[in-house]
Amino acid sequence: MRAIFLSLSVMLAGCAATAVSTADTPSGAEKWTYQAAVDDLRKRSCPEGTDFQRADPLSLRIIEAERGSEDDRNQNLSGLDLVGAWHLKSNESKFGGLSGIDVLDSGSLLLVTDDGKFVWIGIDAATGTPDGFASMADMRDETGRIFRHKRAADSEDLALRDGLAFVSFEQDHRIQVYDLETCGAAAHGALLTKLDRVVDEQVLENNRGGEALAFNGDEIEIGFETRNITGSPIATLQIDGGFTDTYRTEQPLLFLLTGMDQAFDLSATLFRAYDPIRGARGLVKVESSEGLIAQARLHGGLPADNYEGVAIGRNPAGGIRIWVVSDDNFSRDQRTLLLALDLIE
């Protein structure tokens, strides 16, 4: 996603996409389902004769970041404990722009950047902290070639399932799938579908696309970085790239949806906002079937930046951990922050 440090007037203008007369009513197509598509996606992502390729090692410095005072945490956290905050730095100029995150079966993290790269970050199983081991690889298109320009490579979120990474892209709104378990960094980006540019009666702008992606059972839900007075749309994907069962989130004015995840019968949604007076702010909501059970307001003494990715995992004790990551926009004025928020049982 582009830098959020814009004028207040520009941000307000971005809060609502262009209204159109055509609603995102179901096209008659069936909902997309994982089981119906997985075999074909694996074959196309890892064609016969494609050898497994390891990602390139990435030198990563792990620097403890501020966690705010006890008063800051008591005031801004409800049902969550900020147990870790780290500033990630690298001498590799291509590192940055982290926009989506998910948790591997090992407990380590897989992330995507908004210029088309995968980043793996190791997490120590005993301590639940980054262990300093990391790697990075360029994403590839359907033919196995590295993306040649930003418009094609603007990946925003991912959802992992059985070794497959489902990645949402904006500008060229679509979902592509990578069989990382079988082919690693050599995996081709098998096209799942191009996305309809109309959602909830609004036309998607280039930079207001599928910022949030998650599995809901066998189906995929997509959340969009646009909003009207009532919130941001989340919809279930159809096989033709259209949407159905659209509903809207609830968040404060100026906040836009940038990430979501579903696991362990919980859902987590991430929102971010910016204005010249208060600066960058983040909001994390955790919900169960009974409604909101926890939230974190990331400002007012807590680490604040351009948060774009959220994922649900486990902490070393077996409890629920919410991971949050920020996009530094490859700017010296911003940071790549990784936060660990543990759910208070």
Show the domain range for 70. Answer: 8-343
Contact in structure between 247 and 234 (CB atoms under 8 Å)? yes
Q: pLDDT digits over 252-261, tens only?
A: 999 999 999 9
Percentage of the chain exceeding pLDDT 90: 85
Cα gap 301→12, rounded to integer Å = 25
Q: pLDDT digits over 67-112, tens only?
A: 999 999 999 999 999 999 999 999 999 999 999 999 999 999 999 9
Cα gap 243→177, rounded to integer Å = 19
What pLDDT is recorded for position 288? Answer: 97
Q: Say which range, 40-44, 180-184, 276-280, 337-341, has the weakest mean pLDDT.
A: 276-280
Q: What contacts 91, CB < 8 A, 6 or more positions away? A: 59
Cα gap 256→254, rounded to integer Å = 6
Contact in structure between 53 and 135 (CB atoms under 8 Å)? no
CA proximity to 158, closest of 344, 330, 325: 325
What CATH number corresponds to the domain at position 323? 2.115.10
pLDDT band for position 300 (cuts 50, 70, 90): confident
What pLDDT is recorded for position 4? Answer: 41
Number of domains in the chain: 1
What pLDDT is recorded for position 12? Answer: 33
Question: Does 3 fall in a domain?
Answer: no
Q: pLDDT digits over 315-344, tens only?
A: 999 999 999 999 999 998 999 999 999 999
Rg (CA), the chain: 19
Cα gap 279→283, rounded to integer Å = 13
What pLDDT is recorded for position 155? Answer: 97
Question: Does 2 fall in a domain?
Answer: no
For 119-129, b/e burial (b = at least 16 CB within 10 A) is bbbbbeeeebb
What pLDDT is recorded for position 20? Answer: 30
Question: Does 290 fall in a domain?
Answer: yes
| Confidence (pTM) | 0.92
